[in-house]
Amino acid sequence: MYDAPLRKTDVEANEIKISAKDVQVYYGDNHAIKDVSVELQDKTVTAFIGPSGCGKSTFLRCLNRMNDTIDICRVEGLISLDGEDIYDKRVDPVQLRAKVGMVFQKANPFPKSIYDNVAYGPRIHGLAKNKAELDEIVEKALRRGAIWDEVKDRLHAPGTGLSGGQQQRLCIARAVATEPEVLLMDEPCSALDPIATAQVEELIDELRTKYSVVIVTHSMQQAARVSQKTAFFHLGNLVEYGETSQIFTNPVDSRTESYITGRIG
């Protein structure tokens, strides 16, 4: 029934990493997210699926307070990371974003060399004491981004000169270089061809061993391939959240069933 067999899903034992309760998001007068409550597990890939404009990207951006950079956006409710409210006054959003990394829809390498792109986060956060340590961090991140072999001979070439798939993997390497605990991915493969998509998906599965990964995707096959848990959003509501295998084979809500069988969306 699916392109690839579903991965093993014994994730119920993993502890809760991020918990959201009654989250509301407003863009000006527009109520974009309504009463969303969800618990995301550590060392698990969680997919957010749903039709365009259903609020899945908006909700994702709440998890590291990226919405703070949009003036008209207002977030209500409780979102906590490891039990701490991330919207608390005492939390510095800049520090939070170092812990909750993000990869965007369009690959956005900085106009710097490949090395400087990856070293950007570690330098800002002072993760390396000297050049040798920084070199090590960069190499480790590029290896984890599955791009080391392709770029090791041209670390000082501009990152913008890479191909689309390489750029996206560079951005993933850049995000993991700051040692985040959670990695948010907003449609990371939407601009990539099938081969690059396969490479990134493989990478996501490897990242699961260390991080909690949340991925927004339009492709239901992709959600089925890479995730263990799936959340279905519709018109700003979280309709259904559960094990990926259960959502795709035996959805509880009729709207979920309509969406995954292609009748709405």
Partner 1 sequence: MPVLWLFLIVLALAAMGFIAGRMRVTTAGGVRPHSLPNYYGWNVAMKVMAPALLALVVWLLVQPILVDRQVTAGLGENAVPEGSTLGLVMSDVRRVADGLDTAVGRGLITSGDADAMSAADSNVRSLLGEAGVALGSDVSPEVLEAAQRYRAMNATGDFWRTAVVLVLAIAGLAWGIAQSHGSFRARNSVETGIRMILLAAASIAILTTIGIVLSLVGNTWHFFQIYPASKFFGSFTWSPSFGGGSELGIWPLLWGTLYISIIALIVAVPIGLFAAVYLSEYAGPRMRAWAKPLLEVLAGIPTIVYGLFALLTVGPILLTVFGRDGLGWMQAGTAVMTAGLVMGIMLIPFVSSLSDDIINAVPQSLRDGSYGLGATQSETIKQVILPAALPGIVGAVLLAASRAIGETMIVVFGAGAAARLSLNPFDAMTTVTAKIVSQLTGDADFASPEALVAFALGMTLFIITLGLNVFALYIVRKYREQYE
Nearer to partner 1, 191 or 198 (CB): 191
Residues 160-189 touching partner 1, rule: CB under 8 A, are 160, 171, 174-175, 178
Find the binder of partner 1 among 111, 126, 194, 262 (CB under 8 A).
111
Find the binder of partner 1 among 10, 29, 71, 153 (CB under 8 A).
71
Interface with partner 1, residue 27, by CB under 8 A: no
Nearer to partner 1, 70 or 252 (CB): 70
Residues binding partner 1: what is the number (CB under 8 A)?
A: 30
Beta-bridge partner residues of 240:
232
Cα 119–Cα 189–Cα 241 angle in degrees, nearest 5 = 105
Give me 63's structure tokens.
């998890």
**What DSSP assignment string belongs to the chain?**
--SSPPPP---TTSPEEEEEEEEEEEETTEEEEEEEEEEEETT-EEEEE-STTSSHHHHHHHTTTGGGGSTTEEEEEEEEETTEETTSTT--HHHHHHHEEEE-SS----SSBHHHHHHHHHHHHT--SSHHHHHHHHHHHHHHTT-HHHHGGGTTSBGGGS-HHHHHHHHHHHHHTT--SEEEEESTTTTS-HHHHHHHHHHHHHHTTTSEEEEE-S-HHHHHHH-SEEEEEETTEEEEEEEHHHHHHS-SSHHHHHHHTTS--
Distance CA 178, CA 76 (A): 28
The answer to whether the beta carbons of residues 236 and 242 sit under 8 Å apart is no
Interface with partner 1, residue 157, by CB under 8 A: no
Find the binder of partner 1 among 55, 101, 165, 251 (CB under 8 A).
101
In angstroms, what is the minimal distance from the CB of 64 to partner 1? 7
Interface with partner 1, residue 113, by CB under 8 A: no
In angstroms, what is the minimal distance from the CB of 182 to partner 1? 12
In angstroms, what is the minimal distance from the CB of 108 to partner 1? 4
| Stretch in the footprint of partner 1 (CB under 8 A) among 2-10, 100-108, 131-139, 140-148 | 100-108
Find the binder of partner 1 among 95, 250, 254, 261 (CB under 8 A).
95
Nearer to partner 1, 45 or 103 (CB): 103
- Compose the 199-238 pattern: x for residues touching partner 1 by CB under 8 A, - for all others: ----------------------------------------
Q: Which residues bind partner 1 (CB under 8 A)?
A: 64, 66, 69, 71, 94-99, 101-104, 106, 108-112, 120-121, 124-125, 158, 160, 171, 174-175, 178
